[in-house]
Amino acid sequence: MNQLFKTLLSIVVIFLIFFSCKEKLKEKKFNTKELTEIGSKNEEWSLVWLDEFDSDTIDSNNWNLQVLKAGQFNDEWQRYTDSNENAFIENGNLVIKALHESDTHGIDQYSSARLNTANKQSWKYGKIEARIKLPKGKGIWPAFWMLGGNIDENGGDTPWPQCGEIDILELYGTKHDAVVEANLHYADQSNSHAMMGAKSYKLDKGIFADDFHIFALEWDDKNIKWLVDGYQYAITSISQAERSEFHKDFFILLNLAVGGTYAGRPDTSTPFPQLMYVDWVKVYQNNQSS
C-alpha cells in the first residue's frame, strides 16, 4: 500500500512540474513583444550617413571623381577619369565601368573610375558597409576601402602609409573570383610601410560576380573587424602604438583597377567592359560608445 501511495505521489509531482513549466513557456510567449521593444532600444548601431544612389547623377556632396594618369599607383594600367562613361547611376546602383579602349593590352589602354568622399564625408570608428556586385576576370582589381583624411593626396599634410589605409575588400581576379581580402597598411615604429597581412574570405558557392554581397567593417578604439554578409572572418587589434593612424578620421573609396603590381595583367581571356555595381553605402555609429 505504501509503495502504491509513493508511486501515485510521484506521478502527481511530475504532473505539477510539467504544468508549471508549461505555464512559464506561456508567460515567455506573452512577453515577446516587450522583449522586442527592449531589444530595439538597445540596438548597437545607429545610421549616420548613407548613399543609396537613387538620383539621376552621382551626388557631388558625397563623392569626388578622381582624375589620375595610368600607372600612378601600383603600376596599374588604367587611367581614372571623371567621365560618365566610367561612373554613372543606373537602376538605383552606382556603376563603375572599366573600358578597354584599343586592341592592345598595356598601360593607358584602359579607362575606369575611382570615387572618394575626401573632404566631404569622413568618420572615426563605426560600421561601414556596402552592398556590391563585383566584376571578374584576370587582371581585374576592384576595391572598397578607406584612407586617412590627412593624406597629402587630397590636400592633407601626411603621406601614405603614415596616414593609414583600411582595405574593406579587395578582389584579385587573377587569384580567384570567389575570394576577397581584407588588410591594413600603416607606418611601423621605424616609419616604414607595415601591414596586417591579407585575410581572405571565400564563397562556399559561386563567385562574387554572380550576385550582390554586403561587405562590412566594424571599427572601434580597440579592434577592426571584417564581415561578408554578416559573417566575421577577420579581426585585428589597433591598440599598438604603431597603429595610431587608425584613431583618426578616414574617408571612403570605391574603385575598379585594371592590372597592377599585385593584381596581375589582363589578357585576351579578360572580358570588357568590366562592371562594378554598388547598391548602397552606409555608415553607422556605435550607440554603446557614443
Residues marked active site are found at 165, 170
Task: Decide: 98 and 79 in contact? Cβ < 8 Å.
Answer: no
DSSP per-residue codes, 158-198 = B-TTTT-EEEEEE--TTT-TTEEEEEEEEE-TTS-EEE---
Q: Give buried/exposed letters for 259-274 (b at 16+ CB in 10 A, else e).
A: bbeebbebeeebebbb
Sign of the torsion angle spanned by Cα atoms 148, 140, 58, 85: positive
Give the separation between CA 280 and CA 152, rounded to whole angstroms: 28
| Residue recorded with cell 561578408 | 228
- In single-letter form, the type of residue at position 68 comes to L
